[in-house]
Structure 1
């Protein structure tokens, strides 16, 4: 498995140190009058910097200490934490991820989506590569990148979420052809759609089980 907290994560950070400007992409969300935001998987703070320039107070977390150190040196508010257990108890207008859900195995994906809803008072947004529930080889590592229909999974877990906007973002917006979803989750409970998640050892490549998860929510995902 990929070690996002160690050398593998450090290398990822260095590869993504200079990304194209994403101002045009995030401007589309200004109409929602967002005051503050929290980014899960902020890396060095590229997206946070854009939101700060747009007048949105932003905090982020990342599992990689090297990335967080770079973000804080750039006067951004970031700290080391996983996206499945965020040690924050206040809420934000917007909680979002960009290119983070694709790196989660299924049990962690559910936990991360649950955390996003818990932390958000109004909106959840994610921008990811999509695919037909498939694991994709990623720099020689297994269990490191999964293309899925993330919107379908989120809506299955949180049926009260209201889809406000979805579409694609390409190089003109600083991305490599991702799909984004923007939801109003103000009527959601963090327990919507499922009651318990149990899994066998994913490290051994065994099937993960999801007790109480909506039927058909994950398709083929969970078999590695």
Structure 2
């Protein structure tokens, strides 16, 4: 195992507990989003993805856990889905819950696919768990692997801010991840972004869609 606090934590019992706590079918996932934001994940997805024409193209989720988001996309008609997940327990559980989705074990800073292999690469609540010391390596891999789109939903803050996560330090950060991408890669342009405030607190998430300039 690599000497990485975040990876070691998520690969162990802490990560297993998260996986057992956060396994949702598509309808359950929609209900969870409605309770958090007042809008379903399906409606969020449609707002950002409708009309892109990527339903039959290769799409990768980095940090897919058990495939909650991939199963949602499959229900929407996406047919060429891949996931990469560092936690072996989650990968095994994902394979028992999914059909026709390619899910492998791996890490976000060393994605085992060739340059531009995917038409869209996305994350959902994953970049927030990458240390600021390692975030650029993960962004570089996501940028390298996509031929066109980068899509994400992550916690938002104007500045990089550490947040204590379930009583632990060094496991969660929030920032403007859309801006991180755009500042690092001049070849990207913003297609769309939208902030979603939580119903029960003052936290905000940002969904963003970026595209490589032609």
Q: TM-score, normalised by structure 2?
A: 0.80
Counterpart in the other structure of 1:164? 191
Structure 1 residues 98-142: Cα deviation after superposition (integer angstroms, max 9, x where no partner): 000001112321011111111101100111001121111112222
Deviates more, 1:92-101 or 1:12-21: 12-21
Q: Given that residues 110 and 141 in structure 2 are in contact (C-alpha distance below 8 angstroms), is that contact kept between their aligned partners in structure 1?
A: yes
DSSP 3-state at the match of 1:50: helix
Counterpart in the other structure of 2:22? 16
For residue 66 of structure 1, report the CA deviation from its aligned partner: 1.2
Q: Does 1:49 align with 2:71?
A: yes
**Partner Cα separation in structure 1 for residue 91 and residue 44 of structure 2:** 23
For residue 16 of structure 1, report the CA deviation from its aligned partner: 0.9
Counterpart in the other structure of 2:123? 97
**Partner Cα separation in structure 1 for residue 104 and residue 197 of structure 2:** 29
Structure 1 residues 170-223: Cα deviation after superposition (integer angstroms, max 9, x where no partner): 679xxx852111001245xxxxxxxxxxxxxxxxxxxxxxxxxxxxxxxxxxxx
DSSP 3-state at the match of 2:178: helix
**Partner Cα separation in structure 2 for residue 15 and residue 88 of structure 1:** 30
Q: Does 1:32 align with 2:52?
A: yes
Q: Given that residues 156 and 204 in structure 2 are in contact (C-alpha distance below 8 angstroms), is that contact kept between their aligned partners in structure 1?
A: no
Q: Given that residues 102 and 128 in structure 1 are in contact (C-alpha distance below 8 angstroms), is that contact kept between their aligned partners in structure 2?
A: yes
Give the counterpart of 2:110 among 85, 98, 111.
85
Q: Given that residues 123 and 186 in structure 1 are in contact (C-alpha distance below 8 angstroms), is that contact kept between their aligned partners in structure 2?
A: no
Q: TM-score, normalised by structure 1?
A: 0.76
Give the counterpart of 1:129 among 149, 155, 173.
155
**Partner Cα separation in structure 2 for residue 78 and residue 27 of structure 1:** 23
Higher helix share: 2
Q: Given that residues 71 and 77 in structure 1 are in contact (C-alpha distance below 8 angstroms), is that contact kept between their aligned partners in structure 2?
A: no
DSSP 3-state at the match of 2:144: helix
For residue 169 of structure 1, report the CA deviation from its aligned partner: 3.9
